[in-house]
Structure 1
């Protein structure tokens, strides 16, 4: 069964431009295509896919349409590992026969699936091949819409295509030396469900390690503007990380978490996240 492994970074548009220029300048990279992507996500009126932690979309890129089903998957060293099914389709309508080949067909009325929200953005791709891994670096700028409501979208995704998965974090760390960002565990689909009023991110299981809970709590704070007990407890547990990773900037991040915890306004948050994942 196909799997996807990626690390997703959130940053502001000016930093995204800087990130794209830096990635494009590396001797290990080559320019890929630029695409305008229109993505329509589907669910039932009772949001059964969302409850199953699955996301179903049709993506239009030019005159091509791709139907994709993804599971939420697991958080592994800052990356998402998901199951994924992908099929070319002739147009913007769902092909229910293809979904019949997946676990969805057993207990969901596929004919009840309707459009819920869209994620529409320009994607600029840089392919990175360092001899140990091939990584697709995608810079995405656009918006998420549901009815008349919208959220800005500005991300860089590092997706492993082949090779050593540890190289994902290596190159994210290199980018952290160039531009501010934070590692975001809230997917585009989850942001869309939140905008549509269907879903709020749920805390990770209590047995999850403190680093995972801090990352997820930070991502939830960014989306909702609300601190969770998951976030507060992880901050307390990891506040000694400044000594662990040997950086005075790390201590400043935890101070800002307590004073004004707005992830996109903490320049050293990305480097701290990378250091925590390496420790």
Structure 2
């Protein structure tokens, strides 16, 4: 089991270049662009969401990954969630691999109860610009995500733009994330804590 700890910040689109310069300056290198497509699964009644569980397939340049995320916490843009991730050979879920990876009884119970009714509910597609660097004794991955969330509901496509920054703690102590956020906010105008993650945006589109 891993615990993902990251700060999410809403990024005004017109400030994307300023954020890019900030991270490139700290890392000493330009960011690396990674196109990502995520397919989120749930039952028609959104049973997983009701249990605060998220299940997705992610297409990366290196192949497919499946991720199960369980209930976590969020405060001031800092998101903490348990997650389990495994590789899969293609665009299909592997429940056996998920059950072997996941060590949380409640998350497994929710997955098993929903398995027979799972289907795609929404997608996110965005380009992630990535940097990794040391900051205040911690290893941090910074990302600028720009793209959109889409959901097919009653034959119509619903959309919401994505423009945000994620600061993930890879190694070290959490205060380094907050210190970096303070420095970033002083350099890039208009940043605000983002307490709604991409999956929650997709569910919001489904429910509108």
TM-score by structure 1 length?
0.67
For 1:152-167, what aligned pairs fall within 5 Å after superposition?
A: 152-167=161-176
Give the equivalent residue in structure 2 for 1:145. Answer: 150
**Which ranges in structure 2 are unaligned for 5 or more consecutive residues?**
none
Between structures 1 and 2, the one with greater helix share: 1
Between structures 1 and 2, the one with greater strand share: 2
Tell me, in whole angstroms, the C-alpha distance in 1 between the residues paired with 2:115 and 2:203.
Answer: 19
Give the equivalent residue in structure 2 for 1:191. Answer: 201
Tell me, in whole angstroms, the C-alpha distance in 2 between the residues paired with 1:34 and 1:24.
Answer: 13
Tell me, in whole angstroms, the C-alpha distance in 1 between the residues paired with 2:129 and 2:81.
Answer: 23
Q: What is the aligned length?
A: 197
For 1:19-98, what aligned pairs fall within 5 Å after superposition?
A: 19-26=19-26, 28-76=27-75, 78-98=77-97
Paired residues of 1:6 and 1:160 also in contact (CA < 8 A): yes
| RMSD over aligned Cα atoms | 1.7
Question: 1:31 offset after TM fit, Å?
Answer: 4.2
Tell me, in whole angstroms, the C-alpha distance in 2 between the residues paired with 1:45 and 1:177.
Answer: 44
Give the equivalent residue in structure 1 for 2:186. Answer: 177
SS in 1 for 2:44: coil
Q: More relative contact order in 1 or in 2 (CA 8 Å, sep 6+)?
A: 2
Question: 1:78 offset after TM fit, Å?
Answer: 4.1
SS in 2 for 1:185: coil
**Which ranges in structure 1 are unaligned for 5 or more consecutive residues?**
199-279
Residues 32-64 of structure 1: CA distance to partner in whole angstroms, max 9, x if unpaired?
531000000000112111001111100001251
1:8 equivalent in alignment to 2:11: no
Paired residues of 1:31 and 1:127 also in contact (CA < 8 A): no
Paired residues of 1:66 and 1:86 also in contact (CA < 8 A): yes
Tell me, in whole angstroms, the C-alpha distance in 2 between the residues paired with 1:63 and 1:6.
Answer: 23
TM superposition outliers: structure 1 runs of 4+ over 6 Å: none
Quick one: structure 1 residues 141 and 78, their matched pair in 2 at CA, closer, same or farther if it must change by over 3 Å?
Answer: closer
SS in 2 for 1:164: coil
TM-score by structure 2 length?
0.88
Paired residues of 2:5 and 2:79 also in contact (CA < 8 A): yes
Paired residues of 2:32 and 2:130 also in contact (CA < 8 A): yes
